[in-house]
């Protein structure tokens, strides 16, 4: 983040957008691909001056995926080159990074060791949202450990913080002269009250505080060239967005978001345009620990020129028996594309920018 952009955002948000939880890290790409099976990577067609953005879904290291951290550079397997082939790559980190804390009163608890960060970095992932329903699985101790270890690792996380100002602050970075602001917000109701960040309590940024979320995005719009909102939302197992999701996407679009997308439903949802805002309602599981609603997965690749998404590509994948996502082709690819074409009708989105 440039000092000029940071200062502008802080002033514009008027207390809503202080320094991000972990702060931006220098962009990093490994000199060579990990020693995993090569991916069938489509050739780059991004013209000079355009940005290629890559997004993927929920990631965590527990169960079968915990063992992948024995060798962090190969943890994501053959799909890593796809993630690296971008100017900016983002995922949702569906875990607390901690060895401490007490499990919260909920069914599922996910946590990961600090070796998660070099695994994410080696795969070409630049930053991760932690605005989700697992960041506080081990309480505030676990969340603070996550924030502290991310800062120590130099790996940016966003969507949570030690205070409400930190939680709702965007992570900012500059790529090729383009100032990018990225927000993380959760719309999952489980424990949303006690997990919300306040002035004196660590927590995550909740979409339920519509006034604060809208003000933060609007302030970033005045300071950044490109504004992205990474949501955690949806009904688990449902491939259609809820009315609550559609309403909030519209609010974010009106506030000035250029891209709104999210995860959480454990199945793929579809995409389209809301006016000039590109929306993808659900990216599904990505690096996943066990059984779930669906093994369908994939990588979303966007080409952005100025504020406009001029090309949207979805590269279908499946979550393999190792928990790693693997690109698919042939009948498997067609099955996923046919499903997405079918559920696109329930999004209420346009097929093109207006």
User: Is 329's pLDDT higher than 60?
Assistant: yes
- The mean-pLDDT minimum among 177-181, 290-294, 308-312 falls in 290-294
With beta carbons less than 8 A apart as the criterion, state whether 114 and 67 touch: no
User: Is 15's pLDDT higher than 60?
Assistant: no
User: Is 144's pLDDT higher than 70?
Assistant: yes
Confidence of residue 87 (pLDDT cuts 50, 70, 90): very high
pLDDT reported for residue 71? 98
User: Is 22's pLDDT higher than 60?
Assistant: no
Q: Mean pLDDT, to the nearest integer, of 245-264? A: 98
Q: Mean pLDDT, to the nearest integer, of 98-102? A: 98
Tell how strand 285-287 and strand 51-59 pair up. Answer: parallel
Confidence of residue 55 (pLDDT cuts 50, 70, 90): very high
With beta carbons less than 8 A apart as the criterion, state whether 104 and 142 touch: no
Q: Mean pLDDT, to the nearest integer, of 49-74? A: 97
For tokens 């990216």, name the residue. 283
For tokens 């439903």, name the residue. 265
With beta carbons less than 8 A apart as the criterion, state whether 289 and 110 touch: yes
Q: What tokens does 326 get?
A: 């693997």
110 CB-side CA count, 13 A? 21
pLDDT, mean over the chain: 89
With beta carbons less than 8 A apart as the criterion, state whether 281 and 269 touch: yes
Under CATH, which number does the domain 3-31+47-346 receive?
A: 3.60.21.10
Confidence of residue 31 (pLDDT cuts 50, 70, 90): very low
Separation between Cα atoms, residue 61 and residue 80, nearest integer Å: 16
Separation between Cα atoms, residue 174 and residue 24, nearest integer Å: 10
Q: Mean pLDDT, to the nearest integer, of 327-345? A: 98
In percent, the amount of the chain with pLDDT more than 90 equals 85
User: Is 36's pLDDT higher than 90?
Assistant: no
Confidence of residue 45 (pLDDT cuts 50, 70, 90): low
User: Is 244's pLDDT higher than 80?
Assistant: yes
Cα 320 to Cα 3, 42, 60, 291, 299: the distances in Å are 43, 21, 14, 11, 15
- The mean-pLDDT minimum among 9-23, 29-43, 170-184 falls in 29-43
pLDDT reported for residue 28? 30
Separation between Cα atoms, residue 133 and residue 125, nearest integer Å: 21
Q: Mean pLDDT, to the nearest integer, of 41-58? A: 77
Q: Mean pLDDT, to the nearest integer, of 253-266? A: 98
pLDDT reported for residue 80? 98
| 3 state SS of 74 | helix
pLDDT reported for residue 49? 81
State the angle between helix axes of 210-223 and 3-13 in degrees (0 to 180), rounded to the nearest 10.
140
The size of the chain, in residues, is 354
Tell how strand 308-319 and strand 296-305 pair up. Answer: antiparallel
Q: Mean pLDDT, to the nearest integer, of 137-154? A: 98
Separation between Cα atoms, residue 131 and residue 241, nearest integer Å: 19
pLDDT reported for residue 1? 38
Separation between Cα atoms, residue 174 and residue 325, nearest integer Å: 29
Q: Mean pLDDT, to the nearest integer, of 11-25? A: 37
Q: How do residues 156-206 score in pLDDT, each as one tens digit?
A: 999 999 999 999 999 999 999 999 999 999 999 999 999 999 999 999 999
pLDDT reported for residue 354? 86
pLDDT reported for residue 38? 32
């Amino acid at each position: 983040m440039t000092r000029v952009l940071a200062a502008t955002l802080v002033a514009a948000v008027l207390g809503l957008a202080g320094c991000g939880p972990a702060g931006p890290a220098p962009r990093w790409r490994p000199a060579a691909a990990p020693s995993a099976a090569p991916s069938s990577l489509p050739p780059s067609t991004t013209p000079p001056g355009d940005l290629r953005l890559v997004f993927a879904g929920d990631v965590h290291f527990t169960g079968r995926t915990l063992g992948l951290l024995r060798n962090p550079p190969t943890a994501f397997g053959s799909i890593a080159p796809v993630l690296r082939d971008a100017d900016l790559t983002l995922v949702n980190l569906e875990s607390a990074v901690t060895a401490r804390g007490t499990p919260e009163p909920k069914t599922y608890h996910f946590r990961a060791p600090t070796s998660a960060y070099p695994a994410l970095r080696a795969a070409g992932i630049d930053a991760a949202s932690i605005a989700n329903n697992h960041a506080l699985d081990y309480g505030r101790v676990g969340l603070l450990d996550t924030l502290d270890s991310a800062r120590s690792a130099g790996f940016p996380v966003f969507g949570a913080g030690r205070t409400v100002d930190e939680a709702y602050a965007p992570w900012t970075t500059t790529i090729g002269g383009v100032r990018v602001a990225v927000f993380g917000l959760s719309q999952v109701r489980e424990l949303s009250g006690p997990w919300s960040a306040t002035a004196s309590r660590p927590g995550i940024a909740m979409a339920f505080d519509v006034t604060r979320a809208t003000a933060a995005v609007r302030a970033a719009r005045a300071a950044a060239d490109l504004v992205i909102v990474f949501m955690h939302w949806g009904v688990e197992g449902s491939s259609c967005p809820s009315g609550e999701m559609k309403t909030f996407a519209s609010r974010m679009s009106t506030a000035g978001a250029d891209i709104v997308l999210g995860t959480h439903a454990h199945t793929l949802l579809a995409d389209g345009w809301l006016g000039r805002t590109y929306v993808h309602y659900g990216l599904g599981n990505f690096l996943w620990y066990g059984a779930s609603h669906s093994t369908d997965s994939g990588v979303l690749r966007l080409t952005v020129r100025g504020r406009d998404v001029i090309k949207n590509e979805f590269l279908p994948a499946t979550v393999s028996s190792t928990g790693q996502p693997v690109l698919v082709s042939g009948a498997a690819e067609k099955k996923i594309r046919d499903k997405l074409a079918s559920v696109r009708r329930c999004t209420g989105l346009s097929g093109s920018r207006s």
